[in-house]
Amino acid sequence: MVRKKIESLDDLLLERARLESLKEQNELLIKQEIAIYKERLRPVTEIISLFSKAKSEEEKKTKRALIRSYFKSTVPYLLPLIGGPKVGILSSIFSTVRGILKK
């Protein structure tokens, strides 16, 4: 797009208004995209919150039960996808989870 030169104060004010409008539109688009990403990441943040420090013994028991049920239902399906339990860091994660499940 070819822009004409700003030759007067009116041209400058029009360009300023155009740029401010463009800025507001871009800010709105960015806010919408952030909201979409937050929504997509909500399951991950909920899982991560399970690993945060429990404030009471009851909360600790509840979190442990949720972690147990989650891993009991997902680990058997994940192992074939990642090539078995002997895959570096995933192996150590699964062994830690097994330790949690045994308690």
Predicted TM-score (pTM) of the model is 0.46
Task: Give the pLDDT of residue 90.
Answer: 61
The better pLDDT of the pair 94, 13 is held by 13
The better pLDDT of the pair 71, 27 is held by 27
* pLDDT-above-90 percentage for the chain: 27
* Contact between 67 and 50 (Cβ < 8 Å): yes
Mean pLDDT of the chain: 78
* pLDDT-above-70 percentage for the chain: 67
Domain ranges for the chain: 8-50, 55-103
Tens digits of residue pLDDT in 50-97: 777 778 888 888 887 887 777 777 766 666 655 555 556 666 666 676
The better pLDDT of the pair 42, 13 is held by 13
Task: Give the pLDDT of residue 102.
Answer: 63
Task: Give the pLDDT of residue 98.
Answer: 67
User: What value does the CA radius of gyration of the chain take, rounded to a whole number of Å?
Assistant: 26
* Contact between 101 and 68 (Cβ < 8 Å): yes
